[in-house]
């Protein structure tokens, strides 16, 4: 039985001089938490390579070996898994390309949103472009976009894709293929959306530091609620540079808890480590308000 109080540390996967773990996404099925993330490998003086990778756990204590889900290619750098959804008996995982083939620190203007599918949450298809601007818009005219998150509200037939472009942009689709843009609103990156109670939604995102939160009753009009969460950052050397990329896994029905996954970067606080010394962490709550960590 999963009980986060039994873990010895909120630090789950620790980065080092050659490795970074970033941008977590989590999905629960049949007693197993499937944890997806960006794996960055910086070795032998070569350009850093980014992968969508995964591990699995039942208790947040023992984890399966890290498994890469995408190929290594600096011109693609598949990364930043947003979340997993189930649709017509198939699992879908959204992610991005973060193209850095010219030695850029950040993904260039070719970065786009991608979608993978699976029947077992472990073996995944090759990523395919998500045409959030509409099927008739050429890829080269879509503009730089990163950090997708898919959400379908209870009772709704249409999906929403939240992604970073002009703040947070939103598109809708009835089938994950045909998309219509809705607009955009002011927001940080790494958006994660959850319904905390019927007809009410929380959106977690990344300001300069910490995990910000907005609330809405209609998924269109958002207002800030509270200061950004920094959890135990003041006591965590592994998160001294930045704490960010929070995503929520609501397990209230099965385990009477809510898990908040995030990544912490080492560094001075003025400049976070980006391609190394980034680690995945977890906090937990029963009400989305009071959070615990170790």
Which stretch of DSSP H or E encloses residue 263?
strand 257-265
What is the predicted pLDDT for the residue at 267? 76
Q: Are 144 and 203 in contact (CB under 8 A)?
A: no
What is the predicted pLDDT for the residue at 271? 63
Quote the mean pLDDT of the chain.
96
Query: Using one digit for the tens of pLDDT, what is the confidence trace for 94-127?
Result: 999 999 999 999 999 999 999 999 999 999 999 9
Report pTM: 0.97
Q: What percent of the chain has pLDDT over 70?
A: 98
Tokens of 70: 């995408």
Listed residue (224, 225, 206) closest to 264, CA to CA: 206
């Amino acid at each position: 039985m999963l009980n986060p109080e039994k873990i010895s540390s909120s630090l789950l996967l620790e980065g080092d001089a050659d490795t970074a773990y970033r941008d977590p996404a989590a999905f629960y099925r049949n007693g197993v938490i499937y944890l997806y993330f960006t794996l960055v490998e910086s070795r032998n003086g070569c350009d850093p390579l980014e992968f969508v990778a995964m591990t699995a756990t039942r208790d947040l204590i023992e984890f399966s070996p890290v498994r890469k889900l995408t190929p290594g290619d600096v011109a693609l750098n598949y990364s930043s898994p947003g979340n997993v959804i189930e649709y017509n008996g198939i699992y879908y995982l959204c992610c991005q390309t973060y193209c850095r083939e010219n030695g850029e620190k950040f993904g260039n203007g070719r970065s786009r949103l991608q979608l993978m599918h699976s029947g077992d949450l472990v073996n995944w298809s090759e990523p395919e472009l998500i045409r959030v601007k509409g099927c008739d818009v050429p890829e080269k005219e879509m503009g730089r976009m990163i950090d997708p998150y898919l959400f379908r509200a209870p009772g709704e037939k249409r999906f929403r894709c939240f992604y970073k472009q002009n703040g947070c942009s939103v598109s809708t689709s009835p089938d994950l293929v045909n998309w219509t843009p809705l607009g955009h609103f002011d927001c940080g990156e790494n958006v994660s959306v959850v319904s905390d109670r019927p007809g009410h939604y929380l959106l977690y995102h990344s300001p300069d530091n910490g995990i910000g939160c907005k609330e809405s009753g209609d998924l269109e009009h958002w207002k800030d609620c509270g200061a950004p969460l920094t959890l135990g950052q003041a006591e965590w050397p592994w998160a001294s540079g930045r704490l960010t990329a929070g995503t929520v896994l609501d397990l209230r029905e099965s385990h009477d808890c809510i898990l908040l996954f995030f990544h912490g970067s080492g560094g001075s606080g003025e400049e976070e480590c980006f391609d190394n010394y980034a680690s995945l962490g977890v906090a937990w709550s029963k009400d989305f308000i009071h959070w615990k960590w170790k």
